[in-house]
Amino acid sequence: MKVIIVGGVAGGASCAARLRRLDEKAEILMVERGPYVSYANCGLPYHIGGVIEKESSLLVASERTFREQFNVDCRVNCEAIKISPDKKTVDLRNVTTGNITTESYDKLVLSPGAPSIRPPLPGIDLPGIFQVRTVPDARAIREWIEKGSLFLSGMNSYSGFQTVRPKTRAVVIGGGFIGLETAENFVHRGFDVTLVEMGDQVLAPLDQEMARIVEGYVEKHGIRLALNDGVAGFQQAANDTLSVLTKSGKSYPADIVILALGVRPDTTLAKTAGLEIGQRGGIRVDDQMRTSNPDIFAVGDAVEIKDFVTGEWSLIALAGPANRQGRIAADVIAGRDSRFRGSQGTSIIGLFGAAAAWTGASEKTLTRIGDKDYEKIYLYPNSHAGYYPGAKPIAMKVLFRKTDGRLLGAQALGEDNVDKRISALAVALQMGATIYDLEETELCYAPQFGSAKDPVNFAGMVAADVLRGDMPLSHWKTAKAEFLLDVREPAELAVENVPEAVHIPIGQLRARLAELPRDREIHVICRSGQRAYIVTRMLLQNGFKAKTVSGGMLSLAHNYLLDAH
C-alpha cells in the first residue's frame, strides 16, 4: 500500500509516524511545501520575543528523522499541486527547481493547514508587514527588528552622524491567540504595542464579559487596545516606518506590523480533486477523517469537524485536534476502526504570567443557536488553599443544561493553575459529565495544589445547588431592577458599593429579618456569592423569596465593564 501525505507539520507528521508504527510495510511519502517538517508553530511568538532563543529549538523532528526512524520518504520544498482522483495520482512540484513529477497513491492524506488571512488592503505588501505562521516568518521578523531603522536625529544631522534607531513600535492587527501572544512578546522586547481589533472583544471564543478581564489585564501590562476598529490600509512613512490606517480614520505609527487576522482552511488542492467543501469553507470529512472520496483523507486546520457540544460543523484551528485526527486517519488506513469525537475547542493562552482557557460552548454560541436550556454560574475560587502562600483567584464561568445538568462549557482566567481546571472540565465534558459528577469528582489535593473542595468540585456544587433549587440564582443584568440586599461588611462597602442595595451585614441579618419585604424577590449580593448563598438559604427557610446574585461584586466588575466599554 502506498500512502501520500500532503503537509508535514502537525496533522501530516503525526499521521506519517502513526502509520509507520501500525504498518511496517506501507510505502509512505510525505511532502511539505516549506523548508521544515514537524516544527513547533505554537512556539513562534516566543521565538520572536526571545523566550525561545534558538530557532533550532522549534524544529521537533527533521526530514532525516522521518527517513531514518520512520522509513518515510520525506520531501521538503515539495508542493502537491494537483490530484487526479480517477488515476489516483498527485502532481508534485519541486519548489527549488520547478520540476514536476507524478506519484501514484492507494490512499492520500491531506493536512495542508490554514494560511493566515491576508486581505487585499492598500499597502499590505509594504516592507515591515509580517504574518506569524512559519519558521521563515519568525526569522524575517527577528531580522527586521534587529536591523533597526535608519534616521537622522536633530543632533546627529547637525553633527553629521547618522544613527540607527532600534525599532520600537509594533502594531498588531487581530486580537486572537496569535495576535495577543505576539503582542505580549513585543512588550517583552520593550516595544510600544498597539493591538487593533475589528470586533468588540479580544479572544472571540470567550464570552465578552470574560474577555473584558483579559483586556484589562493586557492593558495593565502595556498593550494598548483599539477595539471596534478595522484596519483600512498601510502607508509608508518617513524613516523606514509605516502608518496603519483604520476604518475609523485613525493612524497608528509603526516600525513593524503583524497581521494576525485569523486563518482560512487551505482547500486549494482539495478542490483539484473535486472534494466536497463544507458550508464553513473547510474540507468535509466523516468521523474517520475520510473526505467525499473514500481514498482521500483530510485532517487538521483544513477540515470542518463537528462541534462536540452543539453538533454544528465548525472550523477548529488547534494543534491537539490536528494531531489526533492525523493519528485517526492513519488508524483507519491501517484497518482500525478509530473515530474522531468532534472538538470542544479546548484552548489556553498565556499572557504576562496569567492564563485564559476554555472548553465547550460559550454562552454566545448557545444564544446564537437559540438554545435556552442552559444556566450559567460565575465563581472566583482560589487556585489553592487560601492559607497557603501564593493562592490566586480564578475567575470562572460554567455553563450547564438546566434540564439534566450536563456540562456544556467553561471559561477560566487567572494567574495560577487555570490550565488544570479547564483540562479537568474538558475531560469531564467529553465524557458527558453532569455538574452532579463534578461535585463528586475526586481530584488531588494538598494545600499548595488545590483545596479540599477544588474549584472543579466547587463549580459542580454551586451549579448543583442551583439545579436542586437550594440556591435560586439571578444575574446582574436583571438583578439590578429588583430588591437588592447587600450582606457585606461596612468596610467592604467603602471600597465598592451598589447604591440601590439595602445593606444588612450577614451577622446582623437574623435579628433584622423584619426589615425585609415578604412580597418581593430578594436578590442577595456579597463579594463573590458565597455569603449570598448562606443568606439565600437563611431567607428561603424563613419564608422569603430569595435569590443569589451569581458571582456577586466580582462578577459585577466585569459585567459592568461590559456595559461601560
Among 121, 258, 309, 322, binds ligand FAD (CB under 6 A): 322
Q: How many CB atoms lie within 10 A of CB 375?
A: 18
CA distance 81 to 285: 21
Cell numbers placing 374? 442552559
- 266 vs 307 by CB, closer to ligand FAD: 266
List 319, 513, 538, 557, residue binding ligand FAD (CB under 6 A): 319
**Mind giving me the DSSP string for 70-83?**
H--EEESSEEEEEE
The 1-30 contact track toward ligand FAD, x by CB under 6 A, reads -----xx-xxxx------------------
Q: State which of residues 18, 19, 45, 360 lies at the interface with ligand FAD (CB under 6 A).
A: 45
> Which of 16, 47, 72, 79 is the binder for ligand FAD (CB under 6 A)?
79
- Distance (Å, rounded) from C-alpha 175 to C-alpha 191? 17
| Piece of the chain touching ligand FAD by CB under 6 A; list 36-44, 219-227, 353-361, 427-435 | 36-44
x/- map, 101-140, ligand FAD, by CB under 6 A? ----------xxx------------------xx-------
> How many residues interact with ligand FAD (rule CB under 6 A)?
33
**DSSP three-state, residue 438:** helix
Closest distance of CB 356 from ligand FAD, Å: 12
x-marked contacts with ligand FAD along 234-273 as a string, rule CB under 6 A = --------------------------------x--x----
Pick between residue 15 and residue 26 the one whose CB is nearest to ligand FAD: 15
Q: Could you tell me how many residues make up the chain?
A: 565
Nearer to ligand FAD, 177 or 436 (CB): 177
Q: Provide the β-strand partners of residue 39.
A: 59
The verdict on 486 binding ligand FAD (CB under 6 A) reads: no
Question: Which of the residues 380 through 439 are near ligand FAD (CB under 6 A)?
Answer: none
Q: Return the residue matching grid coordinates 520525506.
A: 74
Nearer to ligand FAD, 9 or 366 (CB): 9
Pair type for strands 521-525 and 483-486: parallel
Separation of alpha carbons 406 and 435, rounded Å = 6
Closest separation in Å from C-beta 96 to ligand FAD: 13
Which of residues 269 and 334 has its CB atom nearest to ligand FAD in the complex?
A: 269
What cell does 22 get? 501500525
Say which amino acid occupies 410: A
Nearer to ligand FAD, 133 or 284 (CB): 133
Q: Which of 26, 317, 334, 398 binds ligand FAD (CB under 6 A)?
A: 317
Residues 165-194 as x/- pattern, contact with ligand FAD by CB under 6 A: ------------xx----------------
List the one residue from 126, 204, 318, 561 that touches ligand FAD (CB under 6 A): 318
CB atoms near residue 368 (< 10 Å): 12
Which residues touch 504 (CB under 8 Å, ≥6 apart)?
485, 486, 487, 512, 515, 516
| Shortest Cβ 353–ligand FAD spacing (Å) | 16
Single out the segment in contact with ligand FAD by CB under 6 A; choices: 220-228, 298-306, 356-364, 430-438: 298-306
Q: Count Cβ neighbours within 10 Å for each residue of 258-271 and write b for 16 or more, e otherwise.
A: bbbbbbbbbbebbe
Could you tell me if 289 and 340 are in contact, meaning their C-beta atoms sit under 8 angstroms apart?
Answer: yes
Give, as one character, the DSSP assignment of residue 501: S
| Cβ atoms < 10 Å from Cβ of 55 | 17
Which position among 30, 31, 58, 244 is part of the footprint of ligand FAD (CB under 6 A)? 31
Task: Pick one of 42, 126, 385, 561: the residue that binds ligand FAD (CB under 6 A).
Answer: 42
- Residue 390: partners with Cβ closer than 8 Å, 6 or more residues away: 384, 416, 448
Catalytic, out of 15, 74, 78, 526: 526
With CB atoms as reference, the residue minimizing the distance to ligand FAD is 300
Residue whose grid cell is 496569567:
354
Smallest gap from Cβ 370 to ligand FAD, in A, equals 29
Q: Rounded distance, CA 151 to CA 164, Å?
A: 6
**Residue of 341, 325, 342 whose CA lies nearest to 290:** 325
Identify which of residues 227 and 318 has a Cβ nearer to ligand FAD in the complex.
Answer: 318
300 binds ligand FAD (CB under 6 A): yes
Angle CA 134–135–138, to nearest 5: 90
Cβ nearer to ligand FAD, comparing 5 with 526: 5
CB pairs under 8 A, 24+ apart, for 369-375? 369/310, 369/312, 371/310, 373/401, 373/402, 373/403, 374/399, 374/400, 374/401, 374/402, 374/408, 375/399, 375/400, 375/401, 375/402, 375/463, 375/466, 375/467, 375/473
Between 182 and 434, whose beta carbon lies closer to ligand FAD? 182
526 belongs to the catalytic site: yes
Report if residue 32 touches ligand FAD, rule: CB under 6 A. yes
Interface pick for ligand FAD out of 80, 211, 223, 354 (rule CB under 6 A): 80
Tell me the catalytic residues. 526
Residue ranges in contact with ligand FAD by CB under 6 A? 6-7, 9-12, 31-34, 41-42, 44-45, 79-80, 111-113, 132-133, 177-178, 266, 269, 300-302, 317-320, 322
